[in-house]
Each structure stands twice: as C-alpha cells, then as structure tokens.
A and B are shown apart, each in its own frame.
Chain A
C-alpha cells in the first residue's frame, strides 16, 4: 500500500520541482490573460453600445474589473513565488 502511495506522489513532486513546469504555468497564464482581455473588450463593447443607462452599468464595470485585477494579481504573485 505504501509503495503505491509513493509511486503516486513522487512523479507529482518531481513535476512540481521541475523548472519547466514554471514555464508552462507562465504560458497558461498568458493564454488566460489574452482570453480575459478579449472577453473584456467584448463585454465593454456591449455595455457601452447596448446599455440603456450608462450610470447603472458603471458599477458593474467597476466590480468586474476590480475582481479581474484581483485574480490576475494573485496569479502573478503566486507564479513569481512559485518560480523563486
């Protein structure tokens, strides 16, 4: 039983410690960031062009971008600390 456990965990540990994993994670981050940027442009276009009252949509914009920047900042800092 203990052999199975070791066999299961060791490759994951190795993968996490492998410097290449950090590079892959930065690539994942870049793809996700591009996706977020594209979706933000699309959403902003809809809010600006189709929203009936701009005042009402302003608060939603603030919430969306605040939340997004928070998650992006957490991703960047965790990747930096991971890569150290």
Chain B
C-alpha cells in the first residue's frame, strides 16, 4: 500500500518501457499459437474431424487460451505494479519482482545528489528508453530504474521537482 501524505502531490509515474512487456509477452504468443498449428496439422494430415472431435478441440483450445490469459495478466500485473512515483516531496521506488516479491523504498527529493541516465544499444536508442541511476545523500544506496521511456525527460522532472522542493524548504513552506 502506498501512502501519499496530506498535501503531497503526485507529479509523475514511471514504468518500464512497453518494449519490456512486449518481449515478456512474445513467448506467450507462441504458447497461444500452438493449438492453431496443431489444428492445421490435423487438417493437412487428413484426420477425420467428426463433431465430437471438433468440440473436443474447441474445449482444449479454450482451456489453453484461458491458461495463457492468466499468465499474461500475471506478467502485466508485475509490469504495472513495478513503478517509480515522483511526488513534490519524494520518490517512491516500488520494485515488483513477481506476485509475492515486492520491495518499496523511498527517499526525499532533498537527498537526491546525482541523476545519471544510460541509453545503451540499438533498440534503446531507437525506442528512446534507458536506465536512470539516482545517487542519494546520507547513504551509499544507488537507486536504479531500468528500461525507462524518455529517461532524459524523467531526469528533468526529478531536477525540476527537487529545485521547487528545495526552494519551498528554504522559504519554510514544507515544515
């Protein structure tokens, strides 16, 4: 559960690029294709398709698709819940590894020391996604968000929010 404090505003949500979801789903598409291939093989092979056989095949296909459907939504849920939430006071890093493995960490914008973006490879350059590294003060921890769409834009948002937050701290608005 994410608690947004009273008076705190959510500025931006960052998820991994859709390319990541696509890659994870491609193997599932092959999984979906198997019953179609089997059906074509039966047709080409001259297998006598009586009404009973057709109903049996329809049942098996539907069962197969239901399994694939469930798996797709598990993949999608892991993708959707893995997110960085940038508010006007802090950054919340929610790392959803799988359905029963979830890490949440957060750090105030005043602790952001350095933000580095890394776009490496042909596809990341073409599709505009990359990694963001945020170094925080006070501890040695480095926060990394991988495969972020438009990392330069996210970096700008973080710095802009940090500037506003620091200005408000100096003018005594925050506390």
Chain B 55-85 per-residue mask, 1 if CB under 8 angstroms from chain A, else 0: 1101100110111011001101100110101
Chain B residues 71 to 115 lying within 8 A of chain A, measured CB to CB, are: 73-74, 76-77, 80-81, 83, 85, 94, 96, 99, 102
A16 & B80 in contact (Cβ 8 Å cutoff): no
Nearest-neighbour CB distance to chain B for A74, whole angstroms, equals 4
| Least CB separation from A15: chain B residue | B56
Chain B: interface secondary structure? helix
> Which of chain A's residues has its CB closest to B104's CB?
A50
Interface centre among B10, B52, B65, B99, by most chain A C-beta atoms within 10 angstroms, is B52
Chain B residue nearest to A32 (CB atoms) is B63
Q: Are A49 and B1 in contact (CB under 8 A)?
A: yes
The number of residues on chain B lying at the interface, defined by a beta carbon within 8 Å of a beta carbon of chain A, is: 33
Measured between beta carbons, the chain A residues less than 8 angstroms from B67 are: 32
Q: How large is the interface on A (under 10, 10 to 19, 20 to 34, 35 or more residues)?
A: 20 to 34
Q: Which residues from A are CB-within-8-Å of B77? A: 43, 46-47
Contact A16 B56 (CB under 8 A): yes
Q: Are A75 and B59 in contact (CB under 8 A)?
A: yes
Q: Contact: A50 with B1, CB < 8 Å? A: yes
Q: Which of B56, B63, B96 contacts A82 (CB 8 A)?
A: B56
- The distance from the CB of A12 to the nearest CB of chain B, in whole angstroms, is 8
Could you tell me if A32 and B66 are in contact, using CB atoms closer than 8 angstroms? yes
Q: How far is the CB of B80 from chain A (nearest CB, A)?
A: 7
Within the complex, which residue of A25, A35, A52 is in contact with B59, where a contact is CB–CB below 8 Å? A25
CB <8 Å contact, B58 and A74:
yes
The answer to whether A68 and B69 have CB atoms under 8 Å apart is: yes
Q: Dominant SS at the A interface? A: helix
Q: Does B47 contact A (CB under 8 A)?
A: yes
Bound Cα distance A43, B74 (Å): 7
Q: Are B81 and A82 in contact (CB under 8 A)?
A: no
- Out of A16, A25, A36, A81, name the residue touching B66 (CB < 8 Å): A36
Contacts of A43 in B (CB 8 A): 73-74, 77
CB distance from A51 to the nearest CB of B (A): 7
27 cross-chain CB contacts under 8 A:
A16-B52, A28-B63, A29-B63, A32-B67, A46-B77, A46-B99, A47-B77, A50-B2, A50-B94, A50-B96, A50-B102, A51-B80, A52-B2, A52-B83, A64-B69, A68-B70, A71-B62, A71-B66, A71-B69, A72-B66, A75-B63, A78-B56, A78-B58, A78-B59, A82-B52, A82-B55, A82-B59
A-B pairs, 3 with minimum CB distance: A82-B55, A74-B62, A71-B66
